[in-house]
Structure 1
Amino acid sequence: MSACMVTRCLALALLLAAPSMAGAIVIRDDVDDARYRIPASALPALADLPGEGHGVLIAPRWVLTAAHAIAWQPALRELSIAGVPRRVQRVVVHPGYRTLPRDLVDAALASGDASRLMAFIAGSDDIALLQLAEPVEGVGPIEIHAGDATGKVVWIVGKGATGTGVRGHDPQGPNRTELRHAFNTITRAEGRWLEYVFDAPPAALPLEGMAGNGDSGGPMLVDVDGHWELAGLTSWKRVDGNPATFRPGIYGQISYGVRLGHYIDWIDDTMTSTTRNADARPNRRTLTVAEVVAAFDLERRLGEGFDDLIGNRLEEDDEALVLDGDTVSRGDLDLLHEPPMAFGDAWHRPRHGLIVVDGNLTIGRIDLWGIDGLIVLGDLHCDSIHLREELLYVQGDLLARDAVRATAAQDWHEAMAQTLGPLHVHVKGTASSPVVQTWHMPLRHLRWTQDSGREQPLVLQ
């Protein structure tokens, strides 16, 4: 690998993952490391994510973490609490979380200025909730601190990379080591973030430290009347100057954590609504296409796409599958391969050419090959989606965490290709994805969010 590629990869590790690689403990250079080490029993509610990263148990079936700590592992199935594996049933990422676009990283490397990257990260909602399949017994959840934490001493815990304030730590890891703790003082608590500075001796606290790489989502706790409350989650550190030469963990650096007081309503609403419906599968009905058209006013909703779907693809007496209510699945909607998986164990290769979700749909990977249309009368959140001239209608927003790809059925001439996207893909809200790739089916008509990737040609194998 060339020196240029090495530099770029290191910068991506620090920036695409910054915040993605924040979170362990860097210590004072004049204090023995043994004083920073603690047993797991010191904080039983600490959750270990696979590989690296943390979360915190805040209710018997709920773990709170940083969104970027799970964004790189969307198929998260399990975590560990008190040394016991726990199955993850559902992942809920805050809708305001934004992945870092690669073009911002490239621009920062070219200019040696990370200021735009820092502004982008500061504008993201880096928080997610993980619902467990079973309640955790024998471990007490940590109460959230919604009050002002300014000036309070914060207790930081994590297992990631370590080093000292003189030299920092190696950005290449390892990012999972022994459990350590440290303390610092919150200098600012506003909006999304808690802020603290890694002070050098003699101004430092006796066990002063800061978050390092490898344990994002770890706890930031404050003492309230003799017990610890969760004020924040480790998230990112500020990079000043050239990101390619930045070394994390040096005295004077500023670290940021997610301020949970800012998100208390979202946390409560998500836990309440999801728990209420956690074991309720959406009602499934099989109707004729004609009945679905009438029930959901599809001719008005679909506009020009209606004639393409009804008549060209479907007959009025064809069957359609209707899912009433919000639908959440950790599986995929994949009709290209045998056997297909979708909506948990309730999905089978359909007789239905049309699927209608009367609510929000949260699912893994979507490939629509094999059906004629998917209509979501709410928001659609997925890991990735591949469109192949089937009709997609989303009443709300479309969020694909990994990629959106669109390929035409054949090598259409340019004039025809320009019509395919507007004809087949209808998103009434905004569309968001870090990767957008198309082949003879451009999607420029969609209202892409600013953090979405630029549309690029898809090279077919």
Structure 2
Amino acid sequence: MKLFIFIALAFYCIGSYAVVMRHDVPIDSYRVEKIPEYIVDMPQEGHGVLIAEKWVVTVAHTIFHDYAGSKLNVGSKQYEIEKVYIHPEYVKPSNNILSGDLAPLMQVLESSSDIALIKLSSPVLDIKPISIYSKSDEKGKVITVFGKGAMGNGLSGENLDTKYLYQPNKFQNVVESANGKWLTFKFDSPHNALPLEGMHGSGDSGGASIIYQSGEPSLVGLSSWQFATGDISAFKGGLYGTTAYQTRISSYYNWITDVVGR
């Protein structure tokens, strides 16, 4: 039970939940026919993003064990994973903070570097990788975030009963802060919200947060976790007013280019 609560809270239950939407906008407005092919599903749960012919970036908490030799579906083809590089400053929360007051868990999540790189054994030649964003001017920009899985709305939060629908959706939000390792945005209620305002959910972990420049997408963030207070047992994800945290790609630009260049 402790593990389930933690997973639902910090989006470490990657692959089970997805877009949480405005309650006053039709669900169909958020739906997409197909998620971009540069967004891939991880071997167990969660997502990654193709950033080069042989490289996928994801959040480190989607890596449950050594995936070398495992298969990864990219588009309509399977590729073997050659090696996984987890950022050296990633911190996996210990079991003793997975119950009770949320403050210790929030501190660990915020201090961690939640990012990993996956090297494929052979190149992906039929899908265009997304470029990664290197500037530090993300604050105030509108981002588009993709996900699939269970849905919900800002009044009631995530609806676990829809987790197996795997319906592709997208939402938008505005970057509220871009400091250090994290991009953050708030799930605003309708009177302050974008037309397709939304919040990422647990199944969006590692999914792409993008901006468009001259019609071309750039990867600015990876869905990671959301901030919460109080007792873990009382947590309800995806409500209006919740702040989401995304791994900030520009903060790790040098690390990414260094690993990819090896």
- The answer for the alignment partner of 1:315 in structure 2 is none
Identical-pair percentage: 36
Number of the residue aligned with 1:234 = 223
1:142 equivalent among 121, 127, 130: 130
2:228 and 2:66 map into 1 onto residues whose CA distance is: 27
- Residue 206 of structure 2 aligns to which amino acid in structure 1? G
Cα deviation digits, residues 59-109 of structure 1 (max 9, x gap): 000001000012x24336122122322211111111111110111224xx1
Match of 1:421 in 2: none
Are residues 1:67 and 2:55 paired?
no
1:80 is aligned to: 73
**Separation in structure 1 between the aligned mates of residue 206 and residue 7 of structure 2, nearest angstrom:** 17
Q: CA deviation at 1:269?
A: 0.7
Q: Does 1:34 align with 2:28?
A: yes
User: Counterparts of 1:175 and 1:233 in 2: how far apart (Å)?
Assistant: 22
Quick one: distance in 2 between partners of 1:124 and 1:248? Answer: 21
Partner of residue 255, structure 1: 244
- Structure-2 change in CA distance of 1:266 and 1:258 (3 Å): same
- Alignment of 1:174 with 2:163, yes or no, is yes
CA distance in 1, matches of 2:214, 2:59: 27
Structure 1 portions without partners, runs of 5+: 1-5, 274-461
1:126 maps onto 2:114 in alignment: yes
Contact 1:20 1:68 survives alignment (8 Å): yes
Map 1:95-114; keep pairs closer than 5 Å.
95-106=88-99, 109=100, 113-114=101-102
Residue type of the alignment partner of 2:256: I
* Counterpart residue number, 2:210: 221
Rounded to whole Å, the distance in 2 between the matches of 1:217 and 1:185 is 19
Offset of residue 210 of structure 1: 0.9
* Aligned partner (choices 103, 106, 121) of residue 115 of structure 1: 103
Does the CA contact (< 8 Å) of 1:114 and 1:239 recur in 2?
yes
CA change 1:249–1:175 in 2 (3 A) is farther
Q: Give CA deviations for 1:3-23 in whole Å, capped at 9, x if unaligned.
A: xxx4x34323335xx241367
Contact persistence 2:3–2:98 (CA under 8 A): no
Change (3 A) 1:253 1:159: same
In the alignment, is the contact (CA less than 8 A) between 1:171 and 1:247 conserved in 2?
Answer: no
Hey, what does 1:201 align to over in structure 2?
Answer: 190
User: Which amino acid in the other structure matches residue 243 of structure 2?
Assistant: I
Partner SS for 2:143? strand
Distance 1:251 1:203, change over 3 A: same
Rounded to whole Å, the distance in 2 between the matches of 1:171 and 1:258 is 25
Match of 2:175 among 181, 186, 204: 186
Q: Give the aligned residue type for 1:52.
A: E
- How many Å apart are 1:213 and its aligned residue? 1.4
Compared with structure 1, are the counterparts of its residues 175 and 213 closer, same or farther at alpha carbon in structure 2 (3 Å cutoff)? farther
Higher Rg of the two aligned structures: 1
* Equivalent residue letter for 1:99: K
Q: How does 1:36-51 map to 2 (within 5 A)?
A: 36-40=30-34, 43-51=36-44
| Secondary structure in structure 2 of the residue aligned to 1:257 | strand
CA distance in 1, matches of 2:162, 2:31: 18
- Kept in 2, the 8 Å contact 1:220–1:233? The answer is yes
Q: TM-score, with normalisation over the residues of structure 2?
A: 0.92
2:170 aligned counterpart, secondary structure: strand
Give the residue type in structure 2 aligned to 1:236: W
Larger mean CA deviation between 250-259 and 97-106 belongs to 97-106
Count of residues paired in the alignment: 258
Query: What's the C-alpha RMSD, in Å, of the aligned pairs?
Result: 1.9
Q: CA deviation at 1:34?
A: 1.4
Report the counterpart of residue 7 of structure 2 in structure 1: 13
Deviation at 1:117, TM superposition (A): 1.0
Q: Can you list the C-alpha shifts for 1:400-424, whole angstroms capped at 9, x where unaligned?
A: xxxxxxxxxxxxxxxxxxxxxxxxx
- Amino acid aligned to 1:230: L
Aligned-residue offset at 1:191: 0.3
Equivalent position to 2:50, from 47, 57, 68: 57
- Asked whether the 8 Å contact 1:194–1:258 carries over to 2, the reply is yes
